Amino acid sequence: MSEQRFTFGQQLQRALLVFLSRLPARLQRLMAEPPVNSAGDTMAPDVALLMKLGESGPDYSDLPPAEARATTERDLLLFASRVEPCAIEEEIEASEEVQLTRYSNGTPSRGLILFFHGGGFVIGSRASYTAPARMLAHGTGADVVSVEYRLAPDAPFPAAQDDAVAAWRYVVEHAADWGVDPHRIVVAGESAGGNIAAVLCQQLRGEAVQPVLQVLIQPVTDLVEHRPSQDEFASSPALSAKQVAWFVRNYLPEGTDPADTRVSPFRATSLAGLPPAIVNLAGFDPLHDDGLAYATALLEAGVPAQVDREPGLVHGYLSYTAVSPSCRKATERLVASVSSALDRTAHTATKAR
């Protein structure tokens, strides 16, 4: 994938946002008073300012999916940090439908992270999630394989879930060629990608090779129950109720049962036997309660589940690392959390031998 080139106007927009994000917090508070949520959390001042600036922008859910994809792709790339490339960045065609990018800093690798980008199953790409993929590779010492799964409405449910299985089969088959133990593969994803990662773990349950860890970042876990955070943050510029409805409308074909466990992994009869989990939540996210409900259900099923909560942040903070120091630091904390989990799995494997 070639690096995105921006127009002068886009570069100016980025520079302005970066400048505003680095103003003293007291000035940011004067420009945009940070809201307080029902849990008593205060939004980070730089994020509150970014959200205020975003309120007046166009809403991609008013556009046809192809136009929305082009618009959001530009913005995602514009707002993301410029992260140093990895020593190895290779494009891989896993199948006719599934393309991958492998990020590696060379051997020996501490494992492999199979990563699924966010975007409501309709928008997003490997390219627009280059920054978090590189940050994960640099910060964990693991290879990262970022998946380009098919998007709705051209390829609606269950295409993304089928592509996830195909990507998993490919990396398991080729891990040894990359110097990676196939028993040290993590599955991770953000938002829709978190849904894909959770569903994949359920689909692989009982197989000889399973993920060593699942990292669910602000995941979509249940399209059946309506939880309080969806109402509290229904008008969030980061992810509104209107946008959620647009995603669902484009993703699910007419007549699809939202309780299907490939749509709503929370609805599985049992979560026992799934890999340990890190569930990452944001305090101002309409999906907050869905992610927390899934983490709670995992714990009740006897699955180790660590909940990492970013109280002052919004949905999709991984994509704002250039224009929000708070989002950049939170992403770094997420990377450190995954790295620590890889340490624990290595110790557990050593004791088991």
- Residues with a known catalytic role: 191, 285, 315
How many of the other CB atoms lie within 10 Å of CB of 41? 18
On the 0-12 / 13-18 / 19+ scale of CB atoms within 10 A, 182 is middle
How many of the other CB atoms lie within 10 Å of CB of 225? 15
Q: Mapping DSSP to helix (H, G, I), strand (E, B) and coil, where does residue 161 land? A: helix
- CA dist 172 and 186 (Å) reads 11
In contact, 255 and 284? CB cutoff 8 Å: no
Of 264, 251, 259, whose CA–CA distance to 156 is shortest?
Answer: 251
- CA dist 183 and 212 (Å) reads 7
Amino acid letter at 327? C
- CA dist 52 and 8 (Å) reads 23
Q: Mapping DSSP to helix (H, G, I), strand (E, B) and coil, where does residue 180 land? A: coil
- CA dist 170 and 175 (Å) reads 8
Tokens read off for 329? 């630091």
